[in-house]
Structure 1
Amino acid sequence: MKRNCWIVYNGNLKTEKFLDYAQWLAEAARKAGITAELIANNEILTFFQNGSCFLAGNKQNSPLPDFVLFTDKDILLARQIERMGIRVFNSSSAIEICDNKILMYERLALEGIPFPKTAVSPKIFGNVTDDIHLESFTKEIGFPMVLKEAYGSFGQQVYLVSTKEELQEKIQELGSKEYIVQEFIKASSGRDIRVNIVGCRPVASMLRRSLTDFRANVSAGGTMEPYAPTKEESELAAAAARAAGTDFAGVDLLFTEDGSPTVCEVNSNAHIRSIYSCTGINVADHILSYIKEKMYG
């Protein structure tokens, strides 16, 4: 029986970093005996007509896949593929939750997952003309605090704010963009753990450090080393990935003052080359092994 999948990537991000992830998944699929076709999100589009939804575009004649590995954040496209009865990994819902940090922290809170104290920005239209909410941020969160735009990746759109004046300036700069402000975990400054979870099980982990930045992301200049997570860390990372609805994820954990872990973020499309370089573990192989079991038994 022929087994096939699509690997959807963003057609406007044809850089090595983004194509690399899709290509690694395609190679893992091949090793698992599954034919993979790489498809850009601008090659197959969602159309609405006469009360119906359908896909069309340059790839509309490609054989429909058994499942789709979705490496992009084109949530509406992922959702339309699901409407056609095709399983998407990760699901459109999981991608949407992880893509928007407000939705992500809301879901973690509802599931009782620990993370730094967080406040959500009020809805702003146009320029900020009334910043009375800064008083609540200052009272409840305190300085220094971390400000994160709702949408952002690789540690970008994340800022350390030390004074009310800095906060006012940054909020004016953001205008109507959504954001959260969050308690700064000093004990974890420049240090975190990345745990790759597949099917609620940790498969690879690394410790990331930065001597020059409060963010430990490798893409922001951090270093990495293999790390064996404790049972508590493994269970928390798995619980966070499950709470966000992911089948696989990169979960970032911070160290609190007493050494216990707390969640920083859940990433539904965590790139895997860095953790392979660090640990020698190919997370893509684990992802395809998990999907193969789910789809074909």
Structure 2
Amino acid sequence: MKAWLVTNEFLNSQKYSELNMWLVNAAKKYDVELLVKTNAELLVDLTSGNGIEAKREKEQPQFVLFWDKDIRLASYLESLSLPVYNSAKAIEICDNKAMTHIALNQKHIRMPQTILAPMTYPNIGYTNYDFVDKMVEQLRFPMVVKECFGSFGQQVYLVHNYPDLLDCLNRIGTKPFLVQEYIKSSFARDIRLNVVGDQVVATMYRYSDTGDFRANISNGGKMRRYEPTPIQIETAIACVKALGLDFAGVDLLFDENEEPIVCEVNSNAHFKNIQDCTGVNVADQIIQYIVKKQSCL
């Protein structure tokens, strides 16, 4: 079986190369020749037959493991009737935190109280901040401000008062953002559950002792093994189904009774840390799942 692993041409650090090789090596265990293709290499040419379509005829990938967020390319590959994991739509929703929370809200999945900021245009900006007063009235301080696009806990801010909030919004500028209720009971701690299909295959508890309210490992957090509760497992799987994903990393917060609240969902969750923590090779789980699903097509 031949397949493509689509990555981003411009994310070429050792961290990303190592992750790619884990997926390639995992594929070999299931007799899958997983060829790495970058989004620049698979240049979409909509005006000729000399681009991806011609390559497809030569290489005949039976599926595409899409490890990037170039949804235009993912959509084009789907238009060629290639099975793409995760789908372009699912990646697009997960990449935008506002769209993620809209989808979760439709399925009544518990998350922090969330208010989406109104859109403005780059050449106009926000000509008034009247809507900010309504946000503050609803959520009170402290509150969490999140840019809609961001990874590894970046572009996420905890603000304690009105001047801090305005300063934060000035730095964000015209980029889309949302504000959320601050879950004090989950300060500097959360759990990451890696879901593949309808199973949680690995879980780790993340915590920080640096004073940072975020628990992300990339921000200096630490990790340890964790046995998720039935409700945490149920919530993580429900998120994956609600977003139309085949696999994902689901981050859950703790309420005052240690019950789960969804923080966010990552369609292309990195799995080095969780493998170091749990010994579970999520790459193996993903490839095994796709091969099984392909056999049913």
Alignment match, 2:247 = 248
Q: Which amino acid aligns with 2:113?
A: K
Q: Deviations over 1:171-208 (max 9, x none)?
A: 12222100010001000010000000000210000000
Alignment match, 1:136 = 134
Report the Cα offset of residue 90 of structure 1: 0.4
> What is the correspondence of 1:137-216 to structure 2 with a 5 Å cutoff?
137-212=135-210, 213-216=212-215
Alignment match, 2:270 = 271
CA–CA distance in structure 1, aligned partners of residues 102 and 61 of structure 2: 33
1:45–1:57 Cα contact (<8 Å) kept: no
In the alignment, is residue 77 of structure 1 matched against residue 73 of structure 2? yes
Report the Cα offset of residue 62 of structure 1: 5.3
Alignment match, 1:217 = 216
SS in 2 for 1:139: helix
CA–CA distance in structure 1, aligned partners of residues 134 and 204 of structure 2: 36
Q: Deviations over 1:131-159 (max 9, x none)?
A: 10111110111111111101000000111
After superposition, the Cα gap between the structure-2 partners of 1:237 and 1:53, relative to the gap in structure 1 and judged at 3 Å, is farther
In the alignment, is residue 106 of structure 1 matched against residue 105 of structure 2? no
Compute the TM-score of the two structures, normalised by the length of structure 2: 0.95
Compute the TM-score of the two structures, normalised by the length of structure 1: 0.95
Alignment match, 2:257 = 258
Q: Deviations over 1:88-132 (max 9, x none)?
A: 000001100000001100000011110000000111123322010
CA–CA distance in structure 2, aligned partners of residues 187 and 53 of structure 1: 56
Question: Residue 40 of structure 2 is aligned with which of 21, 42, 46?
Answer: 42
Q: Which amino acid aligns with 1:17?
A: K
1:7–1:38 Cα contact (<8 Å) kept: yes
Alignment match, 2:280 = 281
CA–CA distance in structure 1, aligned partners of residues 54 and 147 of structure 2: 34
1:128–1:172 Cα contact (<8 Å) kept: no
Q: Which amino acid aligns with 1:153?
A: S
SS in 2 for 1:235: helix
CA–CA distance in structure 1, aligned partners of residues 56 and 290 of structure 2: 24
After the TM superposition, list the runs of 4 or more consecutive aligned residues in structure 1 that deviate by more than 3 angstroms.
Answer: 52-62
SS in 2 for 1:46: coil
1:11–1:40 Cα contact (<8 Å) kept: yes
Alignment match, 1:86 = 82
Q: Which amino acid aligns with 1:240?
A: C
2:274–2:280 Cα contact (<8 Å) kept: yes
Count of aligned positions = 293
2:94–2:266 Cα contact (<8 Å) kept: yes
**Structure 1 runs not aligned, ≥5 long:** none
SS in 2 for 1:137: helix
SS in 1 for 2:44: strand
After superposition, the Cα gap between the structure-2 partners of 1:258 and 1:41, relative to the gap in structure 1 and judged at 3 Å, is same
CA–CA distance in structure 2, aligned partners of residues 33 and 14 of structure 1: 26
2:193–2:249 Cα contact (<8 Å) kept: yes
Identical-residue share of aligned pairs (%)? 45
Instruction: Single out whichever of 126-135 and 143-152 deviates more from structure 2.
Output: 126-135
Question: Residue 23 of structure 2 is aligned with which of 22, 25, 28?
Answer: 25
After superposition, the Cα gap between the structure-2 partners of 1:58 and 1:223, relative to the gap in structure 1 and judged at 3 Å, is farther
CA–CA distance in structure 2, aligned partners of residues 143 and 15 of structure 1: 39
1:102–1:120 Cα contact (<8 Å) kept: yes
Q: Which amino acid aligns with 1:227?
A: Y
Aligned alpha-carbon RMSD (Å): 1.7
2:195–2:201 Cα contact (<8 Å) kept: yes
CA–CA distance in structure 2, aligned partners of residues 168 and 243 of structure 1: 34
1:46–1:53 Cα contact (<8 Å) kept: no
SS in 1 for 2:26: helix
1:75–1:95 Cα contact (<8 Å) kept: yes
SS in 2 for 1:182: strand
CA–CA distance in structure 2, aligned partners of residues 148 and 57 of structure 1: 39
Q: Which amino acid aligns with 2:186?
A: S
Alignment match, 1:12 = 10
Q: Which amino acid aligns with 1:124?
A: T
Report the Cα offset of residue 58 of structure 1: 11
1:124–1:175 Cα contact (<8 Å) kept: no
